[in-house]
Amino acid sequence: MGTLWFLAGVVLTLAALIVLRRFIGFGAQVPTDYAGDDTEAFDVRRHLNGPIACEGVIYGPTGRVASRFTADFQADWQGNVGRMTERFFYATGAVQNREWKLEVGNDGKIRATAPDLVGEGQGQQEGSAVRLQYRIKLPEDAGGHVLDTTDWMYLAPNGAIVNRSQFRKFGITVAELVAVMRPKDAA
């Protein structure tokens, strides 16, 4: 009988954690949370356009800073279709190049592809925020793991973009990125 009570306790604890994760914290956000805010609307075609400066940190699974970086981005749009190249400069001296292809629908939905994505990323711009979700395959020198990623970008009143991303493996957060992006002429 004791084993049955123990298993019931484990099941109830897991259920409570799932419910809490859905309603509290980073994973509880949805784009419509930002739909009615009284701030400037985030339009990736406008706010992620031209030369962009970026700086940020990546936290490891223990919550400590695992990496620091600066980056130069270049984003160009032809109507609703855009291309953004990224060049990251890490504190270790490593350099990483990435490229995104983005497509924005008239309803604000975003489709994203990149060579290191598994499948296609899906997103939504709503109010002053943008959410993008995708699966990314890390480079082999970083373990080659495939991580489930959620990016949230928030438009600040001065036009800067604050980016917070969480990377998960088997539902467990293994890394988090926090960065600020701004047009190079304002950097």
Here the tokens at position 159 are 């036009």
CB atoms within 10 A of CB 135: 15
| Six token digits for residue 150 | 């959620």
pLDDT digits (tens, 9 = 90+) for 21-39: 556 666 766 677 677 776 7
Retrieve residue 172's tokens: 């467990």
Look at residues 154, 103, 149, 151 and name the one whose alpha carbon lies nearest to residue 126: 154
Q: What is the pLDDT of residue 168?
A: 94
Residue holding tokens 């990623």?
Answer: 149
Contacts of 11 (CB under 8 A, 6+ apart): none
Strands 109-113 and 95-104: antiparallel
Confidence of residue 141 (pLDDT cuts 50, 70, 90): confident
**Span 105-113, average pLDDT:** 94
The rounded distance, in Å, linking the Cα atoms of 52 and 98 is 14
Query: Look-up: residue for tokens 């620091």?
Result: 68
- Helix%, strand%, coil% for the chain, nearest 5: 20, 50, 30
Domains recognised in the chain with CATH numbers: 38-186 (2.40.128.20)
pLDDT tens, position by position, 39-62 = 788 899 999 999 999 999 999 999
